[in-house]
Amino acid sequence: MTTATDTLLDGTHTVLTPEYVEFRFTLAGIYSRFLAWLLDTVIVGALTAAALFFLNVVMMAFPGAASALGIVVYFLMDWGYGITLETAWSGQTVGKRALGLRVIQESGVRIGFYHAALRNLARVVDRLPLLYLVGGVSALVSGSQQRLGDMLAGTIVVRERRLKVPSALGASAEDGLLADPLFVSRVKRLTTEERELVLTAALRREELRMEARLRLFSALAARLRDALALEKPDHLSDEKWALLVAAALLPPPGSRALPARLRAS
């Protein structure tokens, strides 16, 4: 649902939904991305050294292949590290997580294996001739801080913002609908995309102008009616209906933590 008509203004990536609702993401700067890369490079180097240690027997048997094997192992570790973690951690590596950065699609949604693989395999070109010079220049002139790998994969790197669960969602827990087993079971069957959509709308609704907010929740309520195969109670507004669905998706109050992919801003 978060399809892309985007604008880039002053380090901000703006995504316009089909309901003409804007969501803004703060782009990560070159310096913070460099620090994240530096930390990841140290980790990849350590993993490579550990792998080569276990391959020491093979290298001793074929000393002429030692250098070539080291290079192959390094690139396998480097690519595997980035692709695996960015896929499993919704666009983060250890370095990005430490610096509060995340890779997302230009449309504002999380990346998958395809995007992680493309942007990481393109590092071979971005690193030329030394220390990501090609990638750095590309990011500086692109206007959206994208290196060549990001352009190829259709991704951007953004700063992560911790979002607190609005008090309105906590208050919704008192509504009797949340005690209805049928309602709760239908909500739990929502797809990952639908869950992200509901939670994002609930968390960011205060950032929207009233007209856009009404449009968004009207469309969202219609989608939820079809997804849940349930009619919205007459006494509930579209927004209240969506907030109740969001409340049913959240973990218990004592352990309430937002999904990591919803913290990017």
Report pLDDT for 61: 64
Same domain, 135 and 224: no
**Residue 25: inside a domain, yes or no?**
no
Confirm if 181 and 46 have CB atoms less than 8 A apart. no
Domain closes at, from 159, 187, 222: 159
Amino acid present at 173 = A
Q: Is 145 exposed, middle or buried (0-12, 13-18, 19+ CB in 10 A)?
A: buried
Amino acid present at 86 = E
Same domain, 175 and 127: no
**Residue 254: inside a domain, yes or no?**
yes
Copy the structure tokens of residue 263: 């913290």
pLDDT tens column, 120-148: 999 999 999 888 899 989 998 887 899 99
pLDDT tens column, 11-46: 888 877 665 666 778 899 888 999 999 999 999 999
| Averaged pLDDT of the chain | 81
Domain closes at, from 136, 159, 182: 159
The confidence band for 265, taking pLDDT boundaries of 50, 70 and 90, is very low
Q: Is the peptide bond before 252 cis (omega within 30 degrees of 0)?
A: no
Same domain, 173 and 150: no
Question: How many CB atoms within 10 Å of residue 110?
Answer: 22
The confidence band for 101, taking pLDDT boundaries of 50, 70 and 90, is very high
Q: Which residues constitute the domain of residue 151?
A: 30-159
Domain closes at, from 140, 159, 178: 159
Amino acid present at 141 = V
Average pLDDT over residues 72-100: 92
Strands (E), the chain: 6-9, 12-16, 22-26, 101-105, 155-159
Q: What is the DSSP letter of 146?
A: -
- pTM tops 0.85, yes or no: no
Report pLDDT for 203: 82
Average pLDDT over residues 222-243: 89
Amino acid present at 170 = G
